Amino acid sequence: MKDFLELAKARYSVRGFDGRDIPEEDIDKIIEAGLAAPTGVNNQPFRIWVFRSEEAREKLLSCTRMKFIEPAKVIFAVGAKPEEAWTRPFDEKNIADIDAAIVITHMMLEIHDLGYGSTWIGHFDVNALAGLYPETKEYSMVGLLPVSGIAMEPSERHTRRKSRSELVTEL
């Protein structure tokens, strides 16, 4: 295992994919990383969809304007069922989206650790997706995660960070 902080700092949102195939064993590792994600009271309200065939990916791509992900041979989608997620009793905050976000984050870090690129796509039409894939309808769809080899360097935005004092408050 790499040093986690090194891994977390090195990972970035890839905007250029080379279209290489992802071996089955690596797809399994990426899924396994998502399955290992902790969720509120371990309810595991999430679902992972794997879009691999050309037809499935084309249909999925019709739900987003983010066409730079077209070369990715594998695209994951992650959502969670709110009725299966834990709800904080003090303010009725349902954490289904948070649980799904943890899953996607685990997957993104495994993708980077395996030497591939990914980016979290939040800009997609969930209603169009549900029309094409009715099995997603009952889920709060949190993100699409294309996976491929990296065909470009990170932008300068990757290293641009606010200062610790702007982001951290000690009490």
Q: Is 11 within a domain?
A: no
Specify the DSSP class assigned to residue 127: H
* C-alpha of 136 from chain center: 15
Q: What is the pLDDT of residue 159?
A: 79
CA diameter of the chain? 53
Is 62:88 a contact under the CB 8 Å cutoff?
no
pLDDT single digits (tens) 107-158: 999 999 999 999 999 999 999 999 999 999 999 999 999 999 998 887 787 7
Token look-up 């685990």 returns 106
pTM, entire model:
0.93
Handedness of CA 85, 88, 89, 91 (dihedral sign): negative
Is 150:117 a contact under the CB 8 Å cutoff?
yes
pLDDT single digits (tens) 45-91: 999 999 999 999 999 999 999 999 999 999 999 999 999 999 999 99
* Count of the separate structural domains present in the chain: 1
User: CATH number for the domain including 97?
Assistant: 3.40.109.10
Domain that holds residue 54: 18-149
Q: Is 160 within a domain?
A: no
Residue 164 has pLDDT above 90, yes or no: yes
Structure-block tokens of residue 99: 């649980």
